[in-house]
A and B are shown apart, each in its own frame.
Chain A
């Protein structure tokens, strides 16, 4: 620190008072010093003149007295003149002594001063002793007066100056200081008083301008910051989304290619006649069908997700039995649980409404998703579905609990994010696309509910799905479970097979689809004409009287949109169905608006197609309705069912199956013995599918367990289970089997 700074610090460091005091102090120092400097010369001059005057007075008195005694002989007159002199020259007293220095007489003033100066004068006959007031005392008193006055004046003036400074300088400063302090503490809306026209007013104005500028800049910065933050977040989200989509595509690639590999591989084998026998061919076809369904589910999930992202996912409310939905899920997933040796239980906490009003298909979709996830991630232990109903909130709670691998907090947080699974290692290990939970959660929200998840790593997970039951007061509540409540036949078998009598035009550019639809519908007695594009179709439609037209949308020469418009313009009033692979809802609505009667999505499901067209094509007069088995999840392919009129009714099928079962078990044992495990598994697969379709779940469950043991190479357990199956055989009897 240099000397200048030190001086500054030491000088100002001692200035502890306010600015008013400092100004006052400096001013008073100056006044004090100046006062003494100015007054002192005057005082000296005054004192000098006083001394001269005093000496002159003394001389005058002396001269006057001498003259008096010389010129006036009368004693009385002398005394009188002396009194005059005492008064004139402020003489204290005059003592007269004779020639022998004896006191003769004294004349004094009324005042008596202890200190005084004196002179002696001599006359012819007398000595005079004249006493004057003290010159020194007089000067001292003068100094006392001046010194006291200056100091007193300075003190009082300093107080006055202090108050004045306080009013003029300190208070405005203090006001600015206090306001600055408050602003610095965050009260940014405060502003300084600008009413004063002095420097404080100007400073206040500048400070206000500065604050306004800062505020404006701050606002601009905040906007920019917000924009930047939003941009960064968007960028991060975009990057994350891109990353997730990349991961998703990678998963998709795997998920799509795997079933495609099976479909292509087995199709080629069948196509080139590589099947060993009919059973082998059916087994291969089953695999192709299962993989095709898997692909279809995958595509449906992706479509659902796109609807979720576009907020276009809608629900369709209908009345349904939640018990039947859950029982169907049990039926669907029980086999998978058995394959993994997992207990799969469903517990109902009664009472539960017999019917609820919500979207049955979406409800089922959610439960299947949660339960299949639970089974997928559980290696041993159990999976439970607990169903409860809260009458107060009218919420149905479906709680899926598993003893699977569980998740940690981080994994839980991103559980419901699209394209993300709990961690990257899950997809390769367990499969799945990471879409199911996202879709399910959104569906639950649309159904006025929610899905929450709790989990402990290594111990298991608990997913709770709440949906609005829509229970109407007075409706029946289930307080005790009966077989009827859990009976799912009605739910599973709503479609009836019928023979129709009518003429239909199929406008479709893909030959395979033409053939497929043709083969489907000809079994139902429908006469079909085909056209390869809209133009030909339009021509045929106007020339012939078709009961119904099925028209593809994307076609060469003339597409479906143009064709329907032209048809309607030509006053064609017959029903026309759109066949489209586009499943987006708005597009479906667009087709209806174009003039289509209905829109059917590809792939074509025969039951849906028949249900739709039977409204427009009359029933055949020589055929009655017959119930058929249409379990979509079973291993019986639709076209096989479509050919069912070559066989008997369900009881005939069951009887036939019952008769064949012992032979199948023998074949199975023989194949296992010969170590032809693939063929054995194919037969077991057939057992499972056909057993389920014929309403014999015991056969399906046991066949599943046997297949599982066989895959694991556990032959002892396999033989034991086969023995159990043989023991169960007598139960497989139409007369004894009631379920």
Chain B
């Protein structure tokens, strides 16, 4: 599974969770989702990487070419930072400013779905431009 197909799946999943949370007035699934993303980012035990390793033992987990931008950040993978940012935004929108940023999870879900469909993710592009690999 490519990283972009994964983004499509977690986008749809987040969308479904938001519906559930709204209907049952429960934010627990969203916290759990954020926690999962943080787990993936910190441990690098990402589902896509695990699947890739399972299918291609010698394959790499990279889904985009290396950046030529030389910096300390170049050793950090954009995919991991991407997950942390998403988790942080979701957490902020449900725990810190729920009335102000209520749309943020919806927006994130929409962007994830779009990134999955188009293979173009502005956040990824930004992170790679910033020097992450």
Contacts and interface: CB of A to CB of B under 8 A. Distances in A.
B18 interface: yes
A242 interface: no
Residue from A13, A136, A158 having most chain B Cβ neighbours under 10 A: A13
Contacts of B122: 29
Contacts of B118: 17, 21-22, 24-25, 28, 158
A147 B102 CA distance: 9
A655 to B, nearest CB: 113
A134 interface: yes
A-B residue pairs, 10 tightest by C-beta = A147-B106, A144-B22, A25-B118, A151-B110, A140-B22, A25-B120, A10-B129, A36-B103, A21-B118, A32-B110
B68 A115 contact: no
Nearest to B110: A151
B117 interface: yes
A137 B25 contact: yes
Contacts of A39: 103
Interface string A16-41: 11000110110011001100100110
A688 B31 CA distance: 130
B97 interface: no
Nearest to A6: B69
A25 B125 CA distance: 13
A143 B107 CA distance: 12
A14 B7 CA distance: 15
Residue from B103, B117, B118 having most chain A Cβ neighbours under 10 A: B118
A148 interface: yes
Contact of B19 (A6, A13, A115, A144): A144
Contacts of A7: 129
Contacts of A32: 107, 110-111, 114
B110 A155 contact: yes
A150 interface: yes
Nearest to B69: A6
Interface in B114-129: 114, 117-122, 124-125, 128-129
Interface string B89-123: 00000000001001101110111011001111110
Interface in B20-48: 21-23, 25
B25 A28 contact: no
A264 interface: no
B22 A151 contact: no
Contacts of A44: 99
Contacts of B21: 140
Contact of A14 (B19, B105, B117, B128): B128
Interface in B72-98: none
Nearest to B26: A140
Given A10-B67, A22-B120, A24-B118, A148 B19 contact: yes
A147 B21 CA distance: 12
Contacts of B105: 147
Nearest to A21: B118
Nearest to B78: A14
Interface of A: 1, 6-7, 9-11, 13-17, 21-22, 24-25, 28-29, 32-33, 36, 39-40, 43-44, 115, 134, 136-137, 140-141, 143-144, 147-148, 150-151, 154-155, 158-159
B107 A36 contact: yes
B30 to A, nearest CB: 12
A151 B120 contact: no
A611 to B, nearest CB: 99
A150 B107 CA distance: 9
A39 B111 CA distance: 17
Residue from A36, A134, A151, A154 having most chain B Cβ neighbours under 10 A: A151
A585 B109 CA distance: 102
Contacts of A14: 64, 120-121, 124-125, 128
Contact of A147 (B25, B103, B128): B103
Contact of A9 (B23, B68, B107, B111): B68
B59 interface: no
Contacts of B128: 10, 13-14
B57 interface: no
A25 B19 contact: no
A43 to B, nearest CB: 8
A40 B99 CA distance: 10
Contacts of A15: 120
12 contacts: A10-B125, A21-B119, A28-B118, A29-B122, A36-B103, A39-B103, A40-B103, A141-B22, A147-B103, A147-B106, A150-B106, A150-B110
A16 B110 contact: no
Contacts of A10: 67, 69, 125, 128-129
Contact of B113 (A16, A141, A155): A155
Contacts of B121: 14
Contacts of A22: 118, 120
Given A14-B120, A43-B103, A155-B110, 8 more contacts: A10-B125, A29-B111, A36-B107, A43-B102, A136-B25, A141-B23, A148-B106, A158-B117
B39 to A, nearest CB: 25
Given A140-B25, A151-B15, A17 B119 contact: yes
Contacts of B110: 32, 150-151, 154-155
A1 B68 CA distance: 9
A25 B118 CA distance: 6
B25 A11 contact: no
Contacts of A28: 114, 118
A212 to B, nearest CB: 38
Contacts of B18: 144, 147-148
B22 to A, nearest CB: 4
A158 B25 contact: no
Contacts of A13: 64-65, 128
A143 B125 contact: no
A9 B69 CA distance: 10
Contacts of B64: 13-14
A141 B23 CA distance: 6
B7 to A, nearest CB: 13
